[in-house]
Chain A
Amino acid sequence: MTASAIALVGNPNVGKSVLFHRLTGAYVNVSNYPGTTVEVARASARFDAAVDLIDTPGVLTLPARSDDERATMHALLHEPLRAVIQVGDAKNLRRTLTLTALLAELGVPAVLALNMHDEASARGVTVDAQALSNALGIPVVPTVATGGEGIAQLTRALTDARALQPLLHYDTDTEAAITDLANRITRHAPHPRLNARGLAILYLGQDSEVEAWLAEAAGDQITGMASARAAAQTKGVMPAALAHERGEAAGTLTARVTARTAQASPLLAHRIGQLIIHRFWAWPILLGVLFVVYEFVGVFGAGTLVGLMENDLFGKILNPAVTTFVRANIGVPWIADLLVGEYGLWTMGMTYALALILPIVTTFFIIFGLLEDSGYFARLSVLANRLFKLIGLNGRAVLPMVLGLGCVTMATLTTRILHSPRERLITIFLMALAIPCSAQLGVVLGLLGGISFTATLIWVVSMVGVLMLAGFLAAKLIPGRRIPLVTEMPPIRLPLFGNVAKKTVGRIKWYLIEVIPLFLLGTLIMFLLNQFGALPAIIRAGEPLVSGWLGLPPEASAAFVMGFLRRDFGATGLFALSHQLSPIQAVVGMVTITLFVPCIASVMMIVKEQGWKIAAAMIAFIVPFAFLIGGLLNHLLRAVWA
């Protein structure tokens, strides 16, 4: 760890990660919704390689209330910070300064980057940066992070970073409580960088990271602090009251330095934003979006592109050439089989990964990135809220679930934006059960789309049905209350080509690096099982379940064995059998394997975020449940859809 670091801190969705990219050259995901960054990222600064720049999750408020905000507070407490760059949204200064008011109490040297200047001007909002700088006692630099404006000035201003002027005094009772606690902290748990007063305010505000830090540093003395806080609370010194006072102070300063010119008509972006969640228009728009996604990914990606890659490139040119070459040059038959046989690393593993799934996930990532950056995803929380009420959640949980369609592993981390452990648990469970990731979605679309639209539709309806059913039960079983939805809608923005391209390339890289080795490993296991004659045994062992209950050909047992490695790989195994599958078998197989265990990486993530006990319990439920649902669907479909 370097001796000095600078953290980018600010409200959600204000452009911290874009600035991080500008200042370090390292790209972390940038999207147009609050909660893109949910863990700390670091890279050395362009202007000084000895300085680590730290990108943090956005905080709506400090004291931290959700796990992503806790990660930011954790960084403030534990990183060797030389300074903080607060990134603020110029058109939303009040919220920016509410956070500034808290940073001021912590006494870290700071600079304020007043970002999104372009959007502020478009809305007729101008901020007097000089006046603000005078009031705060720190450099204030207007920036447009996406356009690179103000970056040089910001870098230069860093040398002038200094402690902020306090923005407010709290009321008498609160001040008394703060002073008392601050004295105790100074005596028993002084922080190397942060002011005792700021820590006292956060402790009064019940910030769990600060509580943990103080408990560690103060030892037994924490009990004295706890009773001092309890005494203060009986006098009405409550977290919300402190937050209110900071908001008021921020409002006063905002009014002093901001000028607004009335807008003649609402911006186009506003009107589109409202239409998307309009009580009537929302639904045709949603159908339209789904249609475009289906056309682009399902028809163009899974149909046209896969056809070109699989039949023409791999089927007619590459695979025959590779096979001939290998057979001619490798004398050992089993090695040749390993490469180009039925379960060959090239003919099965690489062909699936590159010819079948890559085109589908690529088209998916492109449209996914566009939707992320437009601001559409965040608005789905409003549309889905009523449905999510049934499963004990609110619309906020839509975001991780939709992101799960990209990568369930990353989305499991995104559940940090949810406000209660209960919401997190339910959402993580439902994602592990019923949300297919992009790679798997690719296989499903490739197989079912080739059969019929009806088959795809049955799969979709089954997955949504299972999601709702399992969610409904989970909400009943897991104690706790549902939290009603209150959320902000990010502005509708025109996606930037560069950003969508960077994200897409990053995700394709992820696919190539993380998924392909697993495909090869899976192929190798299949090869070995086959080589040592274990496959027939597995097929026989799985027969009652796979053929009897699910109604699939016995060879499908092998697909489920592969599914333990990755769901999408198991799905690919079914794909390999597709010529033997009836439409019903294809749907049943895909539903079962989609519900089946999530990939190893996402299981590890669940262990990391929730502990191994919960992860084990989830798997123990999910595996039999997947077969239960698959079998029921099999019998139902045979009765009605023959």
Chain B
Amino acid sequence: MQFFLEVLIGGLLSGVMYSFVALGFVLIYKASGVFNFAQGAMVFFAALTFVGILELGVPFWLALVLAFGAMVILGIATERIVLRPLVNQPPIALFMATIGLTFFIEGLAQAMWGASVRGLDLGIQDEPIEWILQATDIGVSKFDLFAAGVAAVLVTALALFFQYTRIGRALRAVADDHQAALSIGIPLQTIWRIVWAVAGFVALVAGLIWGARNGVSFSLTFTALKALPVLILGGFTSVPGAIVGGLIIGSTEKLAEVYLGGYVGGGTDSWFPYVMALAFLLVRPEGLFGEKHIDRV
């Protein structure tokens, strides 16, 4: 039982990270209707850029600011160069463009900083927290808790940003109705730029945390891609969906790896989130929070 709880808690904590990345995705989807497949590549790019800058001897905080600056530039450039020319194209064309972007960003990151795997130390150890271990015999990793804490704070901040700031309200207006938003004078392109910058920020935080945990390598792109099954669970447009979906995916993935992985030779985490989301959709195609919808003709 203790062990089960330990695995479950570890899973939930890592699930918060999925939620976080999924949220960046929801943001872009809501504001511009773009299914941004490049989110995973952006995580990789962010982490690699940060480590690359650190290696030049730049202090931690400055590197953080510079990496964030790079992500903002990347986001704005994406909006300007890739998405704006494709405005009014079918969603599938935009989707394909973001797949192309994925290759480009991955290539760019490696061209700039090299392809070798690097470590990243944020100064927080991946070890059980003493007093919890003493009190309950359950090991909760300090690092996981820290990461989840950061993600939780940011998730809340984003949700509040959406809800209460002027830009946030504009974002939601755009999401509800592009035409209407335009007609009341909200500059769509500004909104998109902001959204891509925020997505870049999300990618940076995710990149740092995952990079610190697993090393900064190409496989980060696959980790970040797991925000996608989270999205199909929670829905592309739902903030609570992204949060709950992330927790579900995070915890079941860990449980499956621990309890099933042994029988099947491990590595289940490469596919489990996808199969899990798929199985869930078969039972409930409208997703976690979606409403049942009957096509109108």
Q: Does chain A bind chain B?
A: no
